[in-house]
Amino acid sequence: MRRLNILSHKSFSIRLSLWIVAFVALLFVANVVIMFYFAHQAIKEEALARAEKTVDAAILSIDNLLSSTETAVNNVHWSVEHHTNQPDALAAYCQEFLQSNPTIEGCAIAFLDGREMVYYYRKNKQIVKGDHFGTDPLAQQEWVERPVKEGHAVWTDPLVDETVYPHPIISYSVPLREKGRIIGVIAADISLVWLSNKIEHNMILPNSSFALMSKNGSFIIHPDSTMLKPGSVDRTLKETPNEQLKQLAQSMIAGESGYIYADFYGYPSYIFYKPYKNTKWSIDYVYYEGQIFAGYYYLQFLMMLIGIVGLIVLFFCCFLLIERIIRPLRELDGAVQQLTAGNYDEPIPTSHRSDEIGHLQRAFHSMQLSLSNYLHEIKQQQLVLSEHNKALQVAHDHAQEANRIKSTFLQNMTDQMVKPSETISCIVETIQQKHQQLNKDDITQMTKKLDDNSKAITSMLTRILEISEKKKEE
């Protein structure tokens, strides 16, 4: 990451590519978020509608399974009512009833007057005779008490007698009448394990859960057979701290309908519930969120994968394209660096491109040629000036030497003129002071000295003048 950051600061193409990718990524993310938001809503609505249909289908499936038992009991009910005083005939009816309906676990006929119960059930694939069911008196057992009390056929809540059945059952009990008076009941038992397996096999969606609960808090249908015991709902709710599930159970017992979104044993789920027909049972259907949105999540993953791969491909495409576009600029930058370093003769490549970069490259090429020619001319002029300066320096040295010689000569001549000048000055001063005492010979002698010294000075001045005239001529 640090290396990429350093490269992005040094490379214009990488920096521009990253900006383009970032902008496209922002648009992509915004588009995907909006699309998936509405897709999520549509999938959720479709899933809720599908779940409602699943619950209705489950109700229909339960109806079909229970109706077959109801039809079978109702078919034998008339015969039993007309032979209530014939125990052998009742026993034959029960055995024939079980043989004709292999999905029914047992058949019982009980009378309110204390007569012996006629009871047959399946055990190890055989139909055997039973003499009891449960520990309570027959009149107090639900499969006898409820139809007698309510006066019509009923489905009981789950019943358990492990001495008879290894699993819970429910019974369809129909009152037996004689002259309009209820004298007993006939009941058919079906296995809750069998019923649960049949319903689960007919479910529309896999990885979903379905349950049918009675009003007293017992599961009639449940995917876990260990839960098909009376009071299992209350025990489960006491063990779980999930308040939503407790509220769900209370709503189902109260016969309400609807759905909730809750954490169902670690899985976020939509739980639909509604009462089952005219009974006091309630159906709930657990629709796992992962199952609802499996396609959505897969599409989301696929879109993100495509988006990431697309952005990477876009980055490299942008990088290569921008690198190709700005390659002339990089060459110009190198040429400018050469010019800055003083390499003015380093050629700048020209370009045949017709865009702005091509114009810029040709302009830099022309500028480099003009600058190179101009600097060449300057160098030539510098060489000429250097030669002139050398000649002037030689002339200056000669002039300096001449001035030195002249100064030396003048100094020498001046020194030579000092003595005649002093002699003349001394003679003049003597004449001024002692002219009365001087005789003719002295004056003549002095005049001769004055003349000789004057001639000497005149001769030296003439020589100086001659030398000055020669210097002027030179």
Could you read off the pLDDT of 396-438 as tens digits, one per residue? 887 787 777 777 777 777 777 777 777 777 877 777 777 667 6
Please provide the average confidence, as pLDDT, over all residues in the chain. 78
Query: What pLDDT score does 354 carry?
Result: 67
In contact, 7 and 17? CB cutoff 8 Å = no
How many residues are present in the chain?
474
Cβ neighbours of residue 142 closer than 8 Å, sequence gap 6 or more: 156, 157, 159
- Note the pLDDT of residue 186: 94
Q: What is the pLDDT of residue 358?
A: 67
Instruction: Work out the burial of residue 407: count CB atoms within 10 Å of its CB; fewer than 13 is exposed, 13-18 middle, 19 or more buried.
Output: exposed
pLDDT at residue 350 in the model: 66
pTM above 0.75, yes or no: no
Q: What is the mean pLDDT of residues 153-163?
A: 81
- Checking if the pLDDT of 204 tops 60, the result is no
Under 8 Å between Cβ of 365 and 349: yes
Tell me the C-alpha to C-alpha distance, in Å, between residue 13 and each of 253, 279, 322, 324.
69, 75, 6, 9
Q: Which of 80, 126, 81, 76 is nearest to 105 (CA)?
A: 126
Domains of the chain with CATH codes: 37-291 (3.30.450.20), 388-470 (1.10.287.130)
pLDDT score of 4: 46
Per-residue pLDDT of 281-338, as tens digits, reads: 888 878 777 777 777 777 778 878 887 887 788 777 777 777 777 677 666 666 677 6
Sequential DSSP letters for 31-94 = HHHHHHHHHHHHHHHHHHHHHHHHHHHHHHHHHHHHHHHHHHHHHHHHHHHTTTT-HHHHHHHH
What's the distance, Cα to Cα, between the start and end of the chain in Å?
Answer: 84
CA–CA gap between residue 172 and residue 15 (Å, rounded):
79
Residue 1 has pLDDT above 50, yes or no: no
